Structure 1
Amino acid sequence: MIGPFLSIIVFLVFVFIAFVAFVGYKMVRPPRLIEEWTPKDLGFDYEDVTFETEDGLKLSGWWIDNGSDKTIIPLHGYTASRWYSLYMRPTIEFLLREGYNVLAFDFRAHGKSEGKYTTVGDRELLDVRAAVEWLKKTHPEKAGKIGLTGFSMGAMVTIRSLAEIEEVCCGVADSPPMDLDRTGARGLKYFANLPEWLYLFVKPFTKLFSGGKEIHPIEYADRVKKPLLLIAGEKDPLVKVEEVREFYERNGKINPNVELWITDAPHVRTLKLHPEEWKAKVGEFLRKWVG
């Protein structure tokens, strides 16, 4: 009896490990969102561009020269791309109507960019650094001031960039995860309808496959000293308002130019639900700090 019982236990353990490994693999290999529209559909000429990260990946994007010396780089979230209609398309159009140049690109392992795995905020910092370096090298006259507008994962990278990339002058972080463990666990339920406790077992496999480090933006609350607008939604199932407020209060001790805007929206949906308020708030912030 002991032999068959142990065999069953071993088999079930094997199945469980195989399952969580598969989930971990799928989490760092997001589907690629590619659509047909381009900035031309918004009424703006553009250029398809590629630039290379310091770890050797070629990233794909659009350069939209709007005749300004100020450029905004919008940063999409996990599983999205520059084509994402929920917030990237309206953000790109808004920024162009405001008169800024726009450099929009796909993070590694998203859209048309190279890369097998996302690291959800770790090596994506290299992607932003590569975009900034490309802008400085190819269009130095357009890089007088460089701002960021990021959503979810892109908001995480926005916060990191303010601390680690000198050329970035300010940033908007919409729905930024502050603790990747908490958001990752909630994400299992949100994206895959799996129990949150499973993340404890999935997490080692996400790190194994992607090679990325854990990034918790709350740790940057004591480092960011540049203008930052945080946007948090009370109905967000992934990022709790209290977590964003903790960052805001900590950062406010060293950063007089951090702002917090709390809305009633779900994750990254303030722009969709309150487009005029979002544009007014973000527009005012960018005009103040980018010009």
Structure 2
Amino acid sequence: MIVGLLLALFLLVLVFLAFVGYKMVKPPRFVGEWTPRELGFDYDEVTIETRDGLRLSGWWVPNGEKTVIPLHGYTRSRWDDVYMKQTMEFLLNEGYSVLVFDFRAHGKSEGKYTTVGDRELIDVLSAIDWLEKNHPEKAGRIGLVGFSMGAVVTIRALAEDERVACGVADSPPIDLDRTGARGLRYFASLPEWLYHLVKPFTKLFSGARELNMLEYADRVSKPLLLIAGEKDPLVKVEEVREFYERNKKVNPSVELWVTDAPHVRTLKLHPEEWKVRVGDFLRKHL
């Protein structure tokens, strides 16, 4: 009887860990109702076919000669009204064309699971492919502005694709395991230590590869603006600073801006300063 109870308890624990892992890689889809027309700009609904066969849903807002692609974070979408809507409005008012889309398994895009920065790089490169094919005149100089998961992809794209000229990485998770553990507490009120038991299930469901973001500190040589918040419960300033100090050895065009904001909230708390800093950075490097 004792053996049977222990076995039943073990199976219950496995089911619970599998359920948590499944929920982590299959976040609820965030879909809103506003469109760029509310910002005063006409737009096209677009479908981007990824290099691995998915269909991503997005908007193309033709404006200036240069294009900036804003990238949302985990659990959000292009409809996010904390940072995406404001970023799009800012970029359009600055005179850039904007291509924005929902990452796989987010918003209205296809995809069963998120890989939180791994295969999402394919999404960005496929979006650039779409831009080159459909609007080559707007694809000469491309900038990225990424938030959280989108910031991870921004850093990776700078290293992986020559077509990306510069990038802004706001609240980028550098130590993905520590951020994942903190995320369990932040999103689900579960203890951080549970992450190491849940992680194998997230990899099993999503097929994601592990990323070592510090390795990219040795590879990125293009203009990069890092933004980190001292009150961020998910990404510690010290982790972003470690990336910055390491990247600075090979990249004279890297900048670090530390604020007093929580995760991806610098734009919300300090909108004018954010717009000045990001605007100056993009004008200088695009």
The TM-score range, normalised by the shorter chain, is: over 0.9
1:136-155 matches, within 5 Å, as 136-155=132-151
Which residue is 1:25 aligned to? 22
- List gaps (5 residues or longer) in structure 2: none
1:67-110 CA deviation, whole Å, 9 max, x = no partner? x2200000000000000000000000000000000000000000
Quote the Cα distance in structure 1 between the aligned partners of 2:211 and 2:175.
8
Which residue is 1:174 aligned to? 170
Does residue 203 in structure 1 map to residue 199 in structure 2? yes
Quote the Cα distance in structure 1 between the aligned partners of 2:174 and 2:117.
11
- List gaps (5 residues or longer) in structure 1: none
Quote the Cα distance in structure 2 between the aligned partners of 1:39 and 1:183.
32
Count how many residue pairs are aligned between Structure 1 and Structure 2: 286
AA aligned to 1:212 is A
Quote the Cα distance in structure 2 between the aligned partners of 1:109 and 1:251.
31
Does residue 285 in structure 1 map to residue 281 in structure 2? yes
AA aligned to 1:5 is I
Secondary structure, aligned partner of 2:234: coil
AA aligned to 2:24 is M
1:264-275 matches, within 5 Å, as 264-275=260-271
Which residue is 1:46 aligned to? 43
Which residue is 2:34 aligned to? 37
Which residue is 2:121 aligned to? 125
Does residue 11 in structure 1 map to residue 11 in structure 2? no
AA aligned to 1:38 is T
Does residue 221 in structure 1 map to residue 217 in structure 2? yes
With normalisation by structure 2, the TM-score equals: 0.99
With normalisation by structure 1, the TM-score equals: 0.98
Quote the Cα distance in structure 1 between the aligned partners of 2:165 and 2:221.
10
Quote the Cα distance in structure 1 between the aligned partners of 2:174 and 2:229.
14
AA aligned to 2:34 is W
**Partner residue of 1:163 out of 154, 159, 182:** 159
Query: How far 1:216 sits from its partner (Å)?
Result: 2.8
Quote the Cα distance in structure 2 between the aligned partners of 1:46 and 1:9.
59
Secondary structure, aligned partner of 1:119: coil
Which residue is 2:65 aligned to? 69
AA aligned to 2:281 is F
AA aligned to 2:187 is F
Query: How far 1:184 sits from its partner (Å)?
Result: 0.4
Quote the Cα distance in structure 1 between the aligned partners of 2:278 and 2:212.
24
AA aligned to 1:48 is E
1:246-257 matches, within 5 Å, as 246-257=242-253
Quote the Cα distance in structure 2 between the aligned partners of 1:27 and 1:20.
11
Percent identical pairs in the alignment equals: 73
Which residue is 1:89 aligned to? 85
